[in-house]
Amino acid sequence: MPGHDIIVVGASAGGVEALSYLVKNLPPDLNAAVFVVLHVPSHGTSVLPHILTRAGKLPASHAKDGEVIQLRRIYVAPPNYHLLVKPGHIHLTRGPRENGHRPAIDPLFRTAARTYGRRVVAVVLTGVLDDGTAGLRAVKMLNGVAVVQNPEDAMYSGMPRSAIENVDDIDHILPLSGIPDMLVNLANTPVEGEEDAVPEVIEFESDLVELDMNVLSNEARPGKPSTFGCPDCGGTLWELSEGGLLRFRCRTGHAYSAETLLAKQSDALEDALWVALRALEEKASLSSRMAKRMRDRNQLLSAQRLEEEVEDSQKRAEVIRDVLLKGNATAAEANNSKALEDEEPTNIS
């Protein structure tokens, strides 16, 4: 009887330090495979496997599409790919971003739960906002084990706090120092109970991240159409309500929690304000040049009208400039208040 031999870990801001500590304290004979998603820029270069290999006793590498899952290995999601767990192997996909990220934590947790059910241990570590919460709910729906870093112990408390507030029956809320021993104990504990039926919503969302055409064209999708548009593609967002967790997903698969969608809308509003500021500055500049030409030609009434437009545009631009500066200052203060923000193998079937 297998133990809890599928360990999936998600982290964001502050995650390099947390993950390094975690793997440093895992034994070389760990009876589990470990899968890691750390939010990294899609077009950046990740050296996380090198860092984790040096920090601990288990070999770490970027996951490869189709790679066979082995015990005592750490698989890291590469930049710009979602890491998915399939029966006995790994699948990488450049499917739609979730919560603004690719790789994202939710697809890893969700597919691991779908494939291995009770054998899964999902760990949410330090990070901002709430990626990982929906995936953790999927793990619990299939009777896996949920482990969350204590928010008071995390460098960034957003992700752990969201998981605790929105997922029922978290199994273990621990400081980082207590998580390695818990994972070892769980890996050595036989899994009891029969395999659970996979809920339709988990199957749907797991297939959608792979851009399955049957799912994309299926009109009978979970949730109900909302009044909001997708920040990434502009399509209608479907509203999904699971207990106290409110989420949104568009036809092509982009997914957002309510908190992430609000952050995205704030970014879009700022972009619109910059466009408006640029347009007003350009209008004031052009009107000023035209007014000067009118005065040079002694067309005083036309010059006066244009000068009034210059003054009006400058006043409007000043209002927008103040909004942008105050908004940026508020965001900086919020960020600073939180903290300053990467024996022989045994196959699993």
Instruction: Show which residues are catalytic.
Output: 12, 39, 131
Q: How far apart are CA 148 and CA 136, in angstroms?
A: 10
Q: Report which secondary-structure segment, H or E, holds 301.
A: helix 300-338
Q: Which of 45, 31, 37 is nearest to 2 (CA)?
A: 31
Pairing state between β 255-257 and 245-250: antiparallel
Q: In whole angstroms, what separates CA 348 from the centre of its chain? A: 27
- Total Cβ atoms within 10 A of residue 87: 10
| Contact indicator for 346, 72 with CB cutoff of 8 Å | yes
3-state secondary structure of 3: strand
Sign of CA dihedral 192, 195, 196, 200: positive
Q: Which of 115, 104, 123 is nearest to 254 (CA)?
A: 104
Q: How far apart are CA 293 and CA 27, in angstroms?
A: 79
Q: What is the CB-side half-sphere exposure of residue 168 using CA atoms within 13 A?
A: 7
